[in-house]
């Protein structure tokens, strides 16, 4: 049977049921794809908004407070901190920079700076210091010129106050002693208000002769200049230590500024010594710099003398069968500004290196008294050297009887570890505080133990291959830093304990008359012979041995009072010779026969020889014209160049120019007669070269070569002594001002961009208050 569906087809069956979700369709365009519905914005509540604003205002207030704390610091601290903030802003953003200011500076650096500032600042204003309060608290930033101006003002104020006291004393008809006592009381109160201690002697009752020099010092501007300069230097260096600029990570032992100032001071001292001479009463002169280099002021001679003395002690030790010990004493951790890694020490209490030195001296005073009570004597040398943060510690090489070794070691250990004993929990901590090393002759001599420390603290001699344990740098390079540290804090680096005095030893070495020495006594002759031949052991034994008392010496220094008083009216007592104690001081041997005074060098001694190395002329121009010029070579006085043109009249100048031109004309004729032709460089015109030669002959008294003329025409500066000159294309020679030294450049920049003086600050404050008061008045209207 046929089925006719009339063109219709059966429908397609539905797809099978699927358990999984169909895949998302791929849209032709990204903008046509389905997106999630946009959620409405979350509106913060009032409490959340108030908390956020409170946090923002708190951060702003904290930042403002931090900047106020930063403004209280000296300018050199502010520059370092602001430089760090600027760097952090560029690299990590403002938030990170503000975090450094509010966290690192406020919580870590500012407390350390505050510990230092409160030791030097004038916290309270009184009637005696109100005029100097602001300027005195700016001492670390002041230049030398401003410090000297402040010293002048203080001295004038004290002089005015003393005049008032003197007037009142005259009205009351007081005696000289009571007048001096009233003046002394007044200057003492003023000095106390200015944070200065009086140079008092160890006396309970002062006489008129004791008070008068002190009063004279207090109204002397020079005395105040020295005190304030010293105060500014140690205050600045102490702040560098607190800030972390003195450590193994930055500059070990001393700040970079202190090292530069020490080197500059040494340079200036040597320049001064070179320009001065010693003159006796008969007019004989010797070079001051040569005398300086031949004395113990020379680091090399000083080192040799120290090594001679310690070697002599070792010879005495070997002869007597004594034992040697090497001790190291270190202060507790609260005296150290940074730890061994160069990071800030949170236990530091703000003590300066000089304060730590006083602590170590007090420790040694207790040790010495305890040994004296036990009737134990020792002798040797003590060396004070700095840690990397400037905190001093002691190395001691001591000799004693073998039976006293354990007792001495125990006494020193007890006093060295007495303070802050809670820190000494293990052997490592105890070794860091106090360490002892017996001298073993098999390992080396006693002198070898201490030689390294002596050389390191003087000039670094023979330490080229040695490395510093504190800074990790070569020891020879760190010798300058150690010397700068000792000079800045005035710490005595070397001190001998026991033995005979070295001043008598030096005076005996000046005595060349052995017959006179032998005519006094055997002891005197023995001491003189040993000192003359640098035998410290023999000299010490001749004086009475290593444990001799000062009142039992065989030879002593003889002092004589000078006829002239000091600048403050004090009697000047100087060493003039030595005497034998058995004979008495009435029969001294004079070792200083000639009285010398320091005078400037003569102009003839400072003349310049242009044929050799450059030298400094005495006058503003060069007085020399080279070798072979003078009457001995046929020239007359009229042929010699004039040294000072400023004193010449116009008529004399014209005569001088005419004479120079005639001489040059004669030279040209001589060259023509000999067939000599002057050669000129194609790039230099002959008339310009001749004009420049004439100008150099007249103004400088020298003869320029062709190469020198070419150098001058290219703009280069030539120097004759301290005079610089430059040529120009017109053939004239012009003086060039001397280039300022780096120190002068620094002072000029500091004066221009540094803190303003007190008058400018007061004027700015007055204008600010006047402006605010006018705006308030207008607002009130």
Q: Comparing 95-109, 133-147, 706-720, which segment has the lowest mean pLDDT?
A: 706-720
pTM for this entry:
0.72
Residue 570 pLDDT: 83
Residue 694 pLDDT: 75
Residue 121 pLDDT: 93
Residue 597 neighbours by CB under 8 Å, 6+ apart: 278, 279
Residue 638 pLDDT: 43
**pLDDT(44) > 80:** no
**pLDDT(556) > 90:** yes
**pLDDT(605) > 60:** no
Evaluate whether 253 touches 390 at the Cβ level (below 8 Å).
yes
Q: Which helix (H) or strand (E) holds 690?
A: helix 686-699
Q: For residues 38 and 433, which has the higher predicted lDDT (pLDDT)?
A: 433
Structure token pair of residue 38? 């946009």
Mean pLDDT of 736-753: 48
**pLDDT(236) > 80:** yes
**pLDDT(646) > 90:** no
Residue 366 pLDDT: 95
**pLDDT(775) > 60:** no
Residue 618 pLDDT: 38
Residue 458 pLDDT: 86
Most confident of 41-55, 489-503, 612-626: 489-503
Question: What CA–CA distance (Å, rounded) separates 439 from 450?
Answer: 11
Q: Comparing 46-60, 266-280, 536-550, which segment has the lowest mean pLDDT?
A: 46-60
Residue 38: pLDDT band with limits 50, 70, 90: low
**pLDDT(734) > 80:** no
Evaluate whether 553 touches 544 at the Cβ level (below 8 Å).
yes
From the DSSP assignment, how many helices (H) and strands (E) are in the chain? 26, 14
Q: Comparing 145-154, 250-259, 651-660, which segment has the lowest mean pLDDT?
A: 651-660
Domain spans of the chain, in order of start: 54-120, 133-243, 296-497, 502-600, 607-736, 742-780
Residue 455 pLDDT: 86
Mean pLDDT of 454-465: 78
Question: What CA–CA distance (Å, rounded) separates 387 from 241?
Answer: 12
Question: What CA–CA distance (Å, rounded) separates 701 from 502?
Answer: 53
Residue 24 pLDDT: 60
Ramachandran bin of 115, using left for φ above 0, alpha for ψ from -120 to 50, beta for the remaining angles: alpha
Tens of pLDDT, residue by residue over 357-414, are 999 999 999 999 999 999 999 999 999 999 999 999 999 999 999 999 999 999 999 9
Residue 228 pLDDT: 95
Extract long-range pairs of 141-145: CB within 8 Å, 24+ residues apart.
141/74, 141/75, 141/76, 141/754, 141/755, 142/232, 142/755, 143/747, 143/750, 143/751, 143/754, 144/229, 144/747, 145/747
Residue 266 neighbours by CB under 8 Å, 6+ apart: none
Question: What CA–CA distance (Å, rounded) separates 206 from 199?
Answer: 12
**pLDDT(416) > 60:** yes
**Residue written as tokens 């943060």?**
389
Question: What CA–CA distance (Å, rounded) separates 385 from 360?
Answer: 12
Residue 779 pLDDT: 41
For the beta sheet containing 392-400, the strands, ordered from the edge strand earlier in sequence to the opposite edge, are 434-438, 323-329, 392-400, 379-386, 494-497
Residue 450 pLDDT: 86
Q: Comparing 11-25, 225-239, 257-271, 600-614, which segment has the lowest mean pLDDT?
A: 600-614
**pLDDT(415) > 90:** yes
Residue 760 pLDDT: 53
Residue 629 pLDDT: 36
Q: Comparing 9-13, 324-328, 445-449, 728-732, which segment has the lowest mean pLDDT?
A: 728-732
**Residue written as tokens 């034994």?**
541
Q: For residues 638 and 238, which has the higher predicted lDDT (pLDDT)?
A: 238
Tens of pLDDT, residue by residue over 218-232, are 889 999 999 999 999
**pLDDT(759) > 50:** yes
Backbone angles phi, psi at 531, to 5 degrees: -65, -40
Q: Comparing 3-12, 598-607, 754-763, which segment has the lowest mean pLDDT?
A: 754-763
Residue 735 pLDDT: 64
Question: What CA–CA distance (Å, rounded) separates 119 from 606?
Answer: 48
Active site residues: 449, 453
**pLDDT(297) > 70:** yes
Q: What is the DSSP string of 87-149?
A: HHHHHH-HHHHHHIIIIIIIIIIHHHHHHHHHHHS--S--TTTTTTHHHHTTGGG--HHHHHH
**pLDDT(496) > 80:** yes
Question: What CA–CA distance (Å, rounded) separates 410 from 413?
Answer: 5
Q: Comparing 99-113, 510-524, 689-703, which segment has the lowest mean pLDDT?
A: 689-703
Return the percentage of the chain with pLDDT > 90, whole number: 45
Residue 640 pLDDT: 41
Mean pLDDT taken over the chain: 81
Residue 463 pLDDT: 72
Residue 622: pLDDT band with limits 50, 70, 90: very low
Residue 380 pLDDT: 95
Mean pLDDT of 185-207: 84
For the beta sheet containing 571-580, the strands, ordered from the edge strand earlier in sequence to the opposite edge, are 555-565, 571-580, 589-590
Return the percentage of the chain with pLDDT > 70, whole number: 77
Tens of pLDDT, residue by residue over 251-283, are 999 999 999 999 999 999 999 999 999 998 888
Most confident of 208-217, 512-521, 746-755: 208-217
Question: What CA–CA distance (Å, rounded) separates 198 from 185?
Answer: 11
Evaluate whether 537 touches 315 at the Cβ level (below 8 Å).
yes
**pLDDT(532) > 50:** yes
Residue 154: pLDDT band with limits 50, 70, 90: very high
Residue 446 pLDDT: 81
């Amino acid at each position: 049977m046929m089925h006719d569906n009339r063109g219709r087809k059966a429908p397609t069956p539905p797809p099978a049921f699927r358990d999984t979700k169909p895949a998302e369709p791929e849209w032709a365009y990204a903008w046509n794809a389905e997106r999630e519905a946009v959620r409405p914005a979350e509106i913060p509540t009032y409490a959340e908004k108030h908390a956020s604003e409170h946090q923002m205002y708190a951060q702003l207030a904290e930042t403002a407070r931090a900047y106020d704390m930063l403004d209280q610091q000296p300018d050199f601290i502010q520059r370092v901190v602001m430089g760090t903030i600027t760097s952090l802003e560029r690299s990590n953003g403002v938030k990170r920079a503000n975090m450094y200011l509010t966290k690192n500076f406020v919580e870590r650096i500012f407390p350390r700076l505050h510990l230092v500032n409160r030791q030097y600042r004038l916290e309270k204003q009184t009637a005696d210091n109100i005029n100097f309060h602001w300027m005195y608290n700016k001492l670390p930033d002041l230049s030398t010129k401003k410090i000297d101006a402040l010293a002048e003002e203080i001295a004038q104020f004290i002089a005015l106050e003393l005049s008032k006291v003197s007037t009142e004393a005259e009205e009351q008809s007081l005696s000289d002693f009571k007048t001096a006592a009233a003046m002394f009381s007044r200057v003492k109160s003023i000095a106390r208000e200015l944070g200065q201690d009086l140079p008092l002697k160890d006396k309970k009752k002062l006489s008129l002769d004791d008070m008068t020099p002190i009063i004279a010092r207090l109204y002397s501007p020079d005395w105040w200049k020295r005190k304030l300069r010293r105060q500014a230097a140690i205050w600045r260096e102490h702040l560098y230590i607190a800030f972390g600029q003195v450590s193994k990570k930055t500059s070990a032992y001393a700040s970079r500024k202190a090292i530069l100032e020490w080197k500059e001071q040494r340079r200036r001292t040597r320049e001064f010594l070179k320009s001065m001479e010693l003159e006796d009463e008969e007019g004989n002169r010797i070079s001051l710099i040569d005398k300086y280099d031949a004395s113990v002021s020379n680091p090399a001679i000083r080192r040799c003398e120290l090594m001679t003395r310690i070697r002599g002690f070792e010879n005495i030790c070997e002869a007597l069968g004594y034992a040697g010990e090497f001790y190291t004493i270190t202060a507790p951790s609260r005296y150290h500004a940074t730890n061994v890694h160069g990071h800030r020490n949170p236990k530091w209490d703000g003590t300066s290196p000089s304060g730590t030195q006083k602590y170590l001296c007090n420790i040694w005073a207790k040790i010495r008294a305890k040994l004296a009570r036990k009737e134990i004597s020792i002798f040797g040398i003590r060396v004070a050297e700095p840690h990397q943060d400037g905190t001093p510690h002691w190395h001691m090489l001591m000799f004693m009887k073998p039976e006293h070794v354990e007792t001495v070691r125990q006494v020193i250990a007890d006093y060295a570890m007495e303070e802050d004993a809670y820190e000494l929990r293990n052997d490592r901590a105890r070794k860091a505080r106090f360490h002892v090393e017996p001298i073993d002759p098999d390992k080396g001599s006693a002198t070898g133990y201490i030689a390294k420390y002596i050389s390191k603290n003087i000039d670094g001699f023979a330490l080229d291959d040695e490395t510093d344990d504190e800074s990790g740098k070569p020891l020879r390079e760190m010798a300058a830093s150690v010397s700068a540290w000792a000079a800045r804090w005035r710490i005595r680096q070397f001190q001998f304990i026991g033995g005979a005095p070295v001043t008598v030893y030096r005076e005996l070495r000046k005595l060349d008359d052995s017959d006179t020495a032998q005519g006094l006594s055997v002891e005197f002759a023995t001491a003189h012979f040993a000192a003359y031949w640098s035998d410290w052991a023999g000299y010490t034994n001749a004086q009475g041995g290593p444990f001799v008392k000062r009142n039992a010496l065989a030879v002593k220094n003889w002092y004589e009072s000078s006829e002239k008083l000091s600048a403050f009216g004090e009697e000047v007592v100087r060493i003039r010779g030595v005497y034998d104690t058995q004979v008495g001081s009435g029969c001294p041997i004079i070792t200083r026969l000639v009285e010398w005074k320091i005078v400037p060098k003569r102009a003839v001694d400072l003349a310049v020889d242009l044929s050799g190395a450059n030298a400094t002329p005495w006058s503003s121009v060069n007085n020399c014209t080279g070798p072979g010029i003078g009457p001995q070579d046929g020239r007359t006085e009229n042929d010699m160049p004039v040294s000072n043109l400023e004193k010449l009249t116009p008529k004399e100048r014209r005569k001088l120019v005419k004479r120079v031109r005639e001489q040059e004309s004669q030279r040209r004729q001589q060259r023509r007669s000999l067939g000599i032709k002057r050669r000129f460089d194609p790039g230099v015109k002959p008339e310009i070269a001749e004009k420049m030669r004439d100008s150099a002959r007249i103004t400088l008294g020298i003869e320029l070569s062709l190469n020198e003329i070419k150098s001058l025409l290219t703009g280069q500066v030539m120097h004759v002594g301290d005079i610089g000159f430059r040529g120009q294309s017109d053939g004239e020679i012009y003086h060039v001002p001397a280039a300022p030294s780096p120190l002068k450049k620094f002072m000029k920049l500091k004066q221009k961009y540094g803190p303003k003086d007190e008058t400018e600050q007061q004027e700015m404050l007055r204008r600010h208050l006047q402006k605010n008061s006018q705006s308030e008045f207008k607002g009130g209207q």
